[in-house]
Structure 1
Amino acid sequence: MKFKTSDGVNLFYRLDGEGPPLLMLSGIWSDTNTWSAQVRSFSEYFTCIRLDHRGIGQSDRWAGEHSYELHARDAKELLEHLGLKSAAILGACHGGMAAVTLAVNYPGYANALCLNATQLLGSERLRQMYFGWKKILETSDFETLYTVIMPTIMSDHWLSHNRERLPDLLATIEERIEYSAAQKMVDALVAYSATGLMPEELASISVPALLMASSEDRFIPPQVIKNESQYLPNAKYHLFEQSGHFPQREMPETYNSVVLGFLQNLTTSRRLA
């Protein structure tokens, strides 16, 4: 299904299951399929709402500039399109940055946050890294970029057992996003990393939050997430052992159990409707 945003862009979304709404926002260059292993588990308890960010998958291509304020507004407008006043939001990295921006800019729309591998504060280390990505995309191609990125985001175990899958993974990325959109998303990462959110903005997020990190995530290391969790007044921190940047892919059963446990506890206590 699709809906039209206030600036006329058609965005693709999927609905699965019944129960309290759970908006699922994927990482950079990922589409709704990235959450398939979660939807099979979560849809028994929640209405799972998956969104293709503009420029990704089955959503319209986007010639304009990307920003996390824009992606947060898109998510808010999807909830409004569905007649929802609020939802729990599950976000991975890029999707988590959109989710927390939504929570700050549009108070009340997020009634809980589950964020994995998500940068909240500014980081010169990450800004420099993203700027390096930008230069690679300007002078080379996706294959070169992913050759650089993969050792930082996947665990040693995953890399050693999935070497033959890497060409296919690269091909699917190139199918679901235009090169120019990929470049503009990296521009948004560079801009966000320069400042991130301010500690006082994070302190304004009073809803229950689960901040998740992974022991072998060299991209967003666990200590970064643990440090960020102290700024959210209602946050819990969870560490996935022996996983890289994508625990939802590397260890989906464990990931699903952690997220479901957190959300179902809120449902039982009537904090989710």
Structure 2
Amino acid sequence: MSYIQVRGVEHYYEWIEQPSGSQSKPVMVFIHGWAGSARYWQSTAQALSGRFDCLLYDMRGFGRSQGKAMVRFPQLNAIASEKVGKADVEVKPQTELTYELEEYADDLAAFLDSLGLVKVYINAHSMGASIATLFMNRYPQRVEKAILTCSGVFEYDKKAFEAFYKFGGYVVKFRPKWLSKIPFVDQIFMARFLYRSIPAKERQAFLEDFLVADYEAALGTIFTSVSKYQAEIMPGEFEKLTVPTLLVAGEYDKIIPAKLGKRAAEFSNNVELVVMKNTAHFPMLEDVDTYLKVVGGFLN
């Protein structure tokens, strides 16, 4: 297990095929989605490790990475005040970080700098794919090619978004650790995300990652990843893409429906869209062979 300080916050990372001194293989960085961790990318990284040195990491506040940051996001001010005393609030951490997705894109840049990586390939999922899109437009010279798994452009709906915030806040607040010990809870928890079954070990890992996610990071990224602001800027972000990009959508994805991926791909000639049949929000785990075939074709 390896840790590195990124902008004052301890981040967990791991290599699958550690780069040699000769740098004989290019590096592919894997970015997970909301309330997840690098764990669910391990099997995909293993499969691609013959061609790439695969770098996995847990984003700030998720998995095994720390989540302490300066809370400047308005919706979280009241929450922060309730959780810590006034004296503690006035003590600023080493870096002032928010939960805006642009901040996570800058985290990635600092992470790569810390490891001395100049240019990489990216494979990112869900919220991580939005972060990757922002990263590619802020640092286009640092990305050779990118794979966005389950991403898209959505339209702002005030009532729907407010209902989502309310439900999301409730889910994040009530996460008893003992929940993972109840039989079949992992199946219930993952039911909305899947069309095909995945191994029990993978389902359990998802549930455990959700339960240990940092409270402020989990709640903050709910507000920043699904927001009026993101709905307004993401069409432009896809339109600006200059990096060759593959967008993989799941045919039956309920979280980010395939039609939102199609909408995103329409904004740029640099985005190639593939809709994987009989999969939902985790096509790389639901149909491993097809996913690797699609990705391999794009990388070639």
TM-score class normalised by the smaller sequence: 0.7 to 0.9
Q: Secondary structure at 2:14's aligned position in 1?
A: strand
Q: Secondary structure at 2:284's aligned position in 1?
A: helix
The Cα shift of 1:192 comes to 6.3
The more displaced of 107-116 and 189-198 is 189-198
Cα deviation, 1:165-185, whole Å, max 9, x if unaligned, reads 898456513453233432222
Q: Secondary structure at 1:186's aligned position in 2?
A: helix
Q: Is the 8 A contact 1:37 1:252 kept in 2?
A: no
Q: Secondary structure at 1:29's aligned position in 2?
A: coil
The Cα shift of 1:151 comes to 4.5
Amino acid at match of 1:44: G
Task: Label 1:96 to 1:139 Cα distance change in 2 as closer, same or farther (>3 A).
Answer: closer
**d(CA) in 2 for partners of 1:189, 1:171:** 20
Q: Which residue of 1 aligns with 2:81?
A: none
Q: Which has the larger radius of gyration?
A: 2
Q: Which residue of 1 aligns with 2:5?
A: 4
RMSD over aligned CA atoms reads: 2.9
Q: Which residue of 2 aligns with 1:153?
A: 193
Task: Select the residue among 167, 172, 183 that pairs with 1:133.
Answer: 167
Task: Label 1:122 to 1:69 Cα distance change in 2 as closer, same or farther (>3 A).
Answer: farther
Q: Is the 8 A contact 2:15 2:54 kept in 1?
A: yes
Q: Which residue of 2 aligns with 1:205?
A: 241
Q: Which residue of 2 aligns with 1:119?
A: 152
**d(CA) in 2 for partners of 1:201, 1:178:** 28
Residue 176 of structure 1 pairs with residue 182 of structure 2 = no
Tell me the number of residue pairs that the alignment of Structure 1 and Structure 2 aligns. Answer: 258
Cα deviation, 1:43-81, whole Å, max 9, x if unaligned, reads 110011111001112211324431211111111112212
Q: Which residue of 2 aligns with 1:97?
A: 130
Q: Secondary structure at 2:222's aligned position in 1?
A: helix
Q: Which residue of 1 aligns with 2:227?
A: 191
TM-score normalized by the length of structure 1: 0.82
Task: Label 1:148 to 1:128 Cα distance change in 2 as closer, same or farther (>3 A).
Answer: farther
Task: Label 1:191 to 1:87 Cα distance change in 2 as closer, same or farther (>3 A).
Answer: same
Residue 250 of structure 1 pairs with residue 283 of structure 2 = no
Cα deviation, 1:196-244, whole Å, max 9, x if unaligned, reads 5343432221111101111111221111101210112211110111111
TM-score normalized by the length of structure 2: 0.75
**d(CA) in 1 for partners of 2:60, 2:228:** 18
Q: Secondary structure at 2:140's aligned position in 1?
A: coil
**d(CA) in 2 for partners of 1:22, 1:202:** 21
Task: Label 1:229 to 1:254 Cα distance change in 2 as closer, same or farther (>3 A).
Answer: same
Q: Is the 8 A contact 1:10 1:59 kept in 2?
A: yes
Where structure 2 has 5 or more consecutive residues not aligned to the other structure, the ranges are: 20-24, 71-97, 180-185
Q: Secondary structure at 1:238's aligned position in 2?
A: strand
Amino acid at match of 2:266: Q
1:234-249 to 2 correspondences below 5 Å: 234-249=270-285
**d(CA) in 2 for partners of 1:111, 1:121:** 26
Task: Quote the sequence identity (%).
Answer: 23
**d(CA) in 2 for partners of 1:228, 1:119:** 5
**d(CA) in 2 for partners of 1:9, 1:167:** 28
**d(CA) in 2 for partners of 1:187, 1:171:** 21
